Structure 1
Amino acid sequence: MPDTSMPGTAPTSVLVVDDHALFREGMGALIERWDEFTVAGLACDGEDAVRLARRLRPDLVLLDVRMPGIGGVEAARRITAEDAGVRVVMLTMSNLGEDVFLALRSGAHGYLSKNEPPERLRDYLAGVMRGETALSSAIAAKVLAEFGMAPVVGVPSRDADHLCPRERDVLRLLVEGLSNDEIAAELGLSEGTVKKHLGRVMTKLHMKNRVQVAVYSVRSGIVD
């Protein structure tokens, strides 16, 4: 993958939090290989994460969901309460835990499987730093199934009439849980073109992020 960092831009500082030393050290070593990221510190549990986040002020915190003590979800709530600008991404071995909903409500900006390929993880984290919400495909499907039944602030479904056929294609694949690069490959487009289509969809539907767009699209009947 080509270097995605901008010349003269400081790399994103990352705090890695996991109670398993091998995973924690391995994740730290992997992140250090990416030019646009740097490891600010390593923490072994939720309490350590809150303490280090307060001292190091990282740009991004990767939090294991299941840890001794206060746990990842509570750590995410405390960290984001103290620093509204920090991005938090939860990491899990399970795609089906109810913690995904608690984490997103607690201020997390993403919920990813630990089984993601390294370059996919890199893309997800870069997206989070651009303001996107990162959800692994299986997790995204669960979020849609759960939140699709909840009230969503949006606009009447007739606003979808303004979506062009290509925007609808992108929207359909988004609802299926595909990432931008997967949508691009499926439709034979560049990833940049996919991002432009998604940006126009969000503007037309008056939504702020891809999760809102996906949930609203299912509830309103734009996408089955």
Structure 2
Amino acid sequence: MFERKSRELPPFGIVLINSHPLYCEGVKAKLKREQNYFIAALAASGEEGLACVRDTSPSFVIVDSDLPDIDSTVLVRELVCRNENVLVLMTGENVQVGNVAEAFEAGASGFVGKMSKPCELVRAMDTVLRGNLYLDDAISHGIKRDFSICKKVRRNLFCNSLTPREHEVMQHLATGLTVQEIAAELFVSPRTVENHRSNLMRKLGVKTPLGFIRFAYRHGLIDLDEN
């Protein structure tokens, strides 16, 4: 179901994929008061959601963890693969550490508890737009602790294939520094930084700087900002 278009829409459109009408109405009511976000389309199933994303090219897709027709993790992976610039948030109830890990592994940029207030989604989107991953405060500290442990294990596995200098360059790239700024920080030439970045992207199997940053956050190669 597509929202009516207007001449002056906020900058960031959202496709909300959720089969629970009351939840959708709550999110819609909250976003009507927001200056930066608007609902571009609503979908009650994964298949319908993919069509909506294709037709509206949103900035965000908000995916329920319990959809009637598809595993939500599979859907997140499909969305990220088909739409490199889209940012995906997942919502869910009775969250376990495995749910969070699988969501980020699939390419989600944030996980918000289903029982949280709609304003939590706004906070999540604001955080993700700054280049950080987001974990809802409603998710227990125990889950965050366990997720951090899993993240550190994945970080150690990947870092075995990276040189110390590559890891250092990766940290700077992920904070948004330019090649020239990193070169000045590390006292090397911009060409050297470019070479390290190319090697990182090749080793990690990504093709764009944005894809690289997402991969690094997703696999715990750089620190997660929990706000």
What's the offset of the Cα at 1:140? Answer: 3.2
Match of 1:179 in 2: none
CA contact (8 A) 1:28 1:42 kept: no
After TM superposition, the score normalised by the length of structure 2 is 0.62
Give the alignment of 1:187-206 within 5 angstroms. Answer: none
SS at match of 2:73: helix
Distance 1:104 1:149, change over 3 A: same
What's the offset of the Cα at 1:15? Answer: 0.8
What's the offset of the Cα at 1:63? Answer: 0.4
Match of 2:115 in 1: 115
Matched positions, count: 168
Distance 1:214 1:129, change over 3 A: closer
Match of 1:218 in 2: none
SS at match of 1:53: helix
Q: Indicate whether 1:141 and 2:145 are aligned.
A: yes
1:124-166 C-alpha deviation (Å, 9 max, x unpaired): 211112221111243533321222223243776xx99xxxxxx
CA contact (8 A) 2:76 2:88 kept: yes
Match of 1:20 in 2: 20
Gaps (5+ residues) in structure 1?
1-7, 161-197, 216-224
SS at match of 2:153: coil
What's the offset of the Cα at 1:71? Answer: 2.8
Q: Which amino acid aligns with 2:28?
A: G
What's the offset of the Cα at 1:88? Answer: 0.3
- How far apart, in 2, do the equivalents of 1:21 and 1:10 lie? 23
Match of 1:43 in 2: 43
What's the offset of the Cα at 1:9? Answer: 9.5
Q: Indicate whether 1:82 and 2:93 are aligned.
A: no
- How far apart, in 2, do the equivalents of 1:78 and 1:37 lie? 23
SS at match of 1:127: helix
User: Among the aligned pairs, what percent are the same residue?
Assistant: 23
- How far apart, in 2, do the equivalents of 1:133 and 1:49 lie? 22
- How far apart, in 1, do the equivalents of 2:56 and 2:144 lie? 31
SS at match of 1:131: coil
1:169-221 C-alpha deviation (Å, 9 max, x unpaired): xxxxxxxxxxxxxxxxxxxxxxxxxxxxx889xx89xx965954447xxxxxx
SS at match of 2:90: strand
RMSD: 3.3
- How far apart, in 1, do the equivalents of 2:222 and 2:115 lie? 26
After TM superposition, the score normalised by the length of structure 1 is 0.63
Distance 1:20 1:63, change over 3 A: same
CA contact (8 A) 1:60 1:89 kept: yes
Match of 2:198 in 1: none
